[in-house]
Amino acid sequence: MSQPDPNVLDEINQLRTELDDANYRYYIRNESTLTDAAYDRKLRRLKALEIEHPELASSDSPTQRVGAKPDSGFPEINHVVPMLSLDNALNEEELVAFGKRVAKGLERDVEELSLCCEPKLDGVAVSLVYENGHFLYGATRGDGYTGEDITGNLRTLRSVPLKLRGDNWPALLEVRGEVYMPHSGFEELNARALSSGDKVFANPRNAAAGSLRQLDPVITDQRPLEFCAYQVARIEMARIDHENVSTHSGRMALLRNWGIPTSPELEVNEGMESVIAFCRRLGEKRERLDYDIDGAVIKLDALGDQGILGFVSRAPRWAIAFKYPAQEQVTRLLDVEFQVGRTGKLTPVAKLEAVQVAGVTVSNATLHNMDQIERLKLKIGDSVKIYRAGDVIPKVVEVVYELRPEKAEAITLPKTCPICGSRVEKLEGEVDARCSGGLYCPAQRKEALKHFASRKALDIEGLGEKLIDLLVEREWVKTPADLFRLQSERLAELPRMGVKSATNLVNALKFARQTTLARFIYAVGIRGVGETTASTLARHFGTLNALRDASLETLEAVNDVGPVVASHVHTFFRQSHNRATLDDLIEVGVTWEEEDVDDRPTPLDGQTWVLTGTLESMTRDEGKARLQALGAKVAGSVSKKTTCLVAGEAAGSKLTKAEQLGVEVVDEATFVQRLAEWEQRE
């Protein structure tokens, strides 16, 4: 058998070390040494090398986190050391009583107790077993004595090291901990589910439990799960540092050194007064944490003391869980109101009978959209479960159908916008309903003006977000046309404005009056009409009048527009207030050069191009404009539909993806040469 190329072996070992180190620094030290793109690029390179050299494969390589899909349910695993539950303290008095019981059992004074305190994560309890530093298997808690073997799914978690760091590993190590889903990941997961019409999870704990019990580890790998250790159940070491393994806090420090995450909130406190102060501080911090906790866990730190007290029934005498107020409560739905967001999206908001959830009075909760209301089969008058965690907006997650009153009322989507009276649109296949008022709708006004003034629209220099907020709040500007009526004398009255800044802004507004038809179409903010579509519409119709009078069938026939965008364009121009706004803009002097309508096919019709990296001979915007003039669609990301990628200097992940998909890639010199040939032909 031939010896592996030492250069290849060195590269593989280097990549494995870098990826393992990145995981350790991210999950243990809260440092980011690699961007997601860089991490993925190194991981892909490592996978490619291991495929090319299978003799160098290793079960603890970062590439081996996702295994094969199992054929059936999870086999059972018996816990050598039972995974027992904790008794609860529901208030500080019960916590003090726990301290007195422990002190009495140890024949000590309460203030002499050394107690380790840490958050009680609201996730799924699991057990991890390592043999000689390598992850062997993992299981759920189950009934405390028998759990499910979920090794394949646990291997997908980047916070679970497949190989421990450093050296002096135990021959055997069993770690207990919690798998949880951070709030940020939970919100993203539910947002994706809502957009695709799938079922949303009620809370992060349910999401974590459901994700861990997927029979296909590939699905688990796509879920934002993390692991945090809270106990060493077994440890067998050849060389024992008595100080580190004789206390709970010492064992947690060992785990961190080996690359296993533990709680950064962990503290050792002396006496019950310090413990109570910790619980209060953690409770105040609860809303700012990016994960759910339902309490604090207090344990005797010395393992010898734990052994003296032992267990009662299914719980240890040496530990207790101090519980915080529940994050889920039941209340009654009184009504549903529809709020209009900055993009025109209508969000149903539940008006509730006030209830305390996690220590906060809740009377409103989001219902996401009408599809969610239909999935819940929700009616006004229903009793509902409300979930709230951290600063996340309270949500209605479940209906208690057995408490439904006889006269419960159905919830219907309004036909017109509750703010401006414009027609509400909910197109087939779309999740959200939206106000079609656009520029006219006060709820959308600030965002519409920011878009109108943006660099790729009318590019009004000096008209930033804060100034627009101020102009709208003072009601000086209600439509884009009002911008061009602003006087420098009045603007100079604004805070931090000054005469010079006011004069510069008025001059910028005068300059912005002259634009192109494509920029103007893009600037007025028709839903679904980006720069490329705006250019396509300008070239196809040539004049604004031709576009605004176009029938739906004519719009649908335009290349690369499609029925959905055609419907948005058609609806926009049918609204009388939108047509009045356009007329007002023309009246205040906004003009553009009409486009020459050219029915001849352009060289790049039907093609999709992507630009990446830095170009020396032109900006990417200039390259994009030249491609669009030749009929190409210019996209921001690479896909199977991409015709060609132009790779400038320091091209990154888009180049890697193009190479993976087999998309044609050209350098700047080739791109410039082809542009010249196509433009000469035109």
- Tokens at residue 90, please? 């529901």
Residue, of 219 and 117, whose pLDDT is higher: 117
Beta strands in 218-345 (DSSP E): 226-236, 267-270, 293-300, 311-312, 315-316, 319-323, 328-340
What pLDDT sits at residue 521? 94
DSSP per-residue letters across 641-673: T--EEEE-BT--HHHHHHHHHT-EEE-HHHHHH
The answer to whether residue 182 scores a pLDDT higher than 80 is yes
Mean pLDDT of 105-119: 94
Residue, of 333 and 560, whose pLDDT is higher: 333
Q: How confident is the model at residue 31 (pLDDT cuts 50, 70, 90)?
A: low
The answer to whether residue 625 scores a pLDDT higher than 90 is no
Spatial separation of the C-alpha atoms in residues 665 and 655, rounded to whole Å: 8
Report the CATH superfamily, name and number, of domain 438-593: 5' to 3' exonuclease, C-terminal subdomain (1.10.150.20)
β-strands 591-593, 514-516 pairing = parallel
The answer to whether residue 527 scores a pLDDT higher than 90 is no
Query: What pTM did the predictor assign?
Result: 0.55
**Residue range 631-674, pLDDT digits in tens:** 788 888 888 889 999 998 878 778 888 888 889 999 999 999 99
**Residue range 473-513, pLDDT digits in tens:** 898 998 899 999 999 999 998 988 889 999 999 999 999 99
Spatial separation of the C-alpha atoms in residues 543 and 565, rounded to whole Å: 19
Residues acting as catalytic residues: 120
Residues 6-64, CATH architecture:
Orthogonal Bundle (1.10)
**Residue range 384-413, pLDDT digits in tens:** 998 876 556 788 988 999 899 999 999 999
DSSP 3-state of 260: coil
Spatial separation of the C-alpha atoms in residues 554 and 534, rounded to whole Å: 15
What pLDDT sits at residue 490? 92
The fold of 88-323 is: D-amino Acid Aminotransferase; Chain A, domain 1 (3.30.470)
Spatial separation of the C-alpha atoms in residues 571 and 551, rounded to whole Å: 10
The answer to whether residue 534 scores a pLDDT higher than 80 is yes
**Residue range 37-71, pLDDT digits in tens:** 567 678 878 888 888 888 888 878 888 776 544 44
The fold of 608-681 is: Rossmann fold (3.40.50)
The answer to whether residue 265 scores a pLDDT higher than 90 is yes
- Please state, for a pLDDT cut of 90, what percent of the chain lies above it: 45
Spatial separation of the C-alpha atoms in residues 18 and 554, rounded to whole Å: 56
- Answer CATH for 328-403 from 3.50.30.30, 3.30.70.3040, 2.60.120.380, 2.40.50.140: 2.40.50.140
Residue 378, exposed/middle/buried by CB under 10 A (0-12, 13-18, 19+)?
buried
Can you give the residue ranges of every domain in the chain?
A: 6-64, 88-323, 328-403, 438-593, 608-681
What pLDDT sits at residue 1? 46
Q: How confident is the model at residue 331 (pLDDT cuts 50, 70, 90)?
A: very high
